[in-house]
Amino acid sequence: MLEFEWLFNQGALEINPICAPHATTFSGVQTNELEDATEFIQQDSVVLTIAIAFANREDELVDYLAHLASAGAVAVGIGTGLIFSSVPDAAIKAAQELGIGLFEVPRQISFISIVSAVHQEQSRRNDIAQRRLLSAQEQLTHTATRGNLRELLHEAAYLIDVELSIINEHDDAVVSTAPPTKRQYFSSYEMTAHGERQHTLKVDSDHPITAEDRSLIRHCAGLADMLLARPLELRQARNELNSFALRLSLGLPDTTSPSQMLPTTLDFPRDKEGFTRPVAVLADDTRSLERSKLALDANLEKRGQFLYTAQLDAVS
C-alpha cells in the first residue's frame, strides 16, 4: 500500500488535489473510461479517467463516482484539457459526499507517467522489504544455531513486534515471550507432528500482520520445529543417563542431589492421557527378543515416539 501523501508530493506529476480521501493509502493506480467498470476495479485503487463517456453529461458524474466507490476505488483522478477544461462541480460535490479522494491531472501529464511512478515506488519498497526479510531470516537462523528455543522466540518477537508462544497438544505453553494477553490481531501455525506430539506457534499482535511478517513467522516456526526435535538435548540426556549408569556401577551418590539418584532429564513413559500401560513380551530366546525390540523401536521412530523397556527375570 502507498500513501496519498507520497502521491501528492510527487512534484513531477503536477497532481492537483481537490478532495481529500477518507483512506490514507491505496493499493495501485488504474485507468478506466467505461461507464460500468465494476468487474475491472481493484479494491482500494486510484482510478484515472478523462470521463470521455460523460461529455455533455457531467451531471451523471455523480452516479459514476458512486459506482467507482462502491466497486472499491478510494480516489479518482480526472484528466482535464480534453473533455473538461476543469474538474466539474458535480464530480467535486459527489466526491465530498462519498468520502473518496478527487484530484486533477493536467493535460500535459500522461496517465502512464502516474501509473509508472506508482509501480516504480511499489517495486522499490518491495525490494527493501525483501532485503529486510532475508536479513531477519538470517538473523533468526544464526540465533537458532545456538540451540536456545526461548532465545529464538524472543528474537523473532522483537523483529516483528509481536508476542509469540508455542503450545503443545494439551494447550500447555512450552515457551512464551510474554504472559497471555488479548490483542487485536491473532494467527497460529501448526508445526510438524511427531507421533502424538503436536506443537503450534501462536502469534498475538497489536498491529496487522503483514505478508513479510507471516514469512518471518513461518521461518521461525520451521526453526523452532527443528529445535523441538532436540538433537542436542537428546545427546545431553544420553550423556546424563550414561553418567547415571556409571554412578550405579560404582555405587556413587549423585553429587548434585544426594537424595535423588535419578538424572534430571529422565523422561517417564506416559501416554497422552497420563497413564503408563506396560506390555509384557515373551520370547523363546534372546535373539528373537532383540529382533522384536529393534522392530518396535523402528516403528516408534517413524511416529516420533521412544521405546521404554525393562528386562524382567527369566520365566519358565
93 with 10, same domain?
yes
Q: What is the pLDDT of residue 216?
A: 93
Half-sphere exposure of 132 (CA within 13 A, CB side): 11
Same domain? 66 vs 27: yes
pLDDT tens-place string over residues 242-290: 667 666 766 666 555 544 555 555 566 677 777 777 888 888 887 888 8
pLDDT at residue 141 tops 50: yes
Q: What's the mean pLDDT in 307-314?
A: 72
- Quick count: other Cβ atoms within 10 Å of Cβ 291? 12
- What is the Cα–Cα distance from 47 to 33, expressed in whole angstroms? 10
Cα–Cα dist 108/49, whole Å = 14
What confidence score (pLDDT) does residue 175 get? Answer: 87
Cα separation values, 232 from 85, 149, 297, 308, Å: 75, 12, 20, 20
CATH number at residue 153: 3.30.450.40
pTM, 2 dp: 0.62
> Tell me, what's the pLDDT at 27?
95
Considering 75, 109, 143, which residue would you say is the last residue of a domain? 109
Q: Average pLDDT of 193-200?
A: 75
Phi and psi for 306 in degrees, rounded to 5?
A: -120, 155
Residues contacting residue 271 through CB under 8 Å, at least 6 positions apart: 196, 277
User: Which residues face 47 on adjacent strands?
Assistant: 30, 76
Whether 8 and 101 share a structural domain: yes
Residues 9, 103 within the same domain: yes
Is 252 contained in some domain?
no
The per-residue b/e assignment along 237-274, b for 16 or more CB within 10 angstroms, e otherwise, is: beeeeeebeeeeeeeeeeeeeeeeeebeeeeeeeeeee
pLDDT reading at 89 higher than 50? yes
Q: How far apart are CA 119 and CA 116, in angstroms?
A: 5
CA 176 to chain CA mean position, Å? 17
Residue at which a domain ends, from 79, 109, 139: 109
Q: Distance between CA atoms of 217 and 213, rounded to whole angstroms? A: 6
| Residue-range definition of the domain harbouring residue 313 | 274-316
Residue with cell 526461548: 150
| Beta strand pairing call for 163-167 and 25-26 | unpaired
Q: How many domains in the chain? A: 3
Structural domain contains residue 278: yes
Contact 138, 172 (CB under 8 A): no
Residue at 71 is within a domain: yes
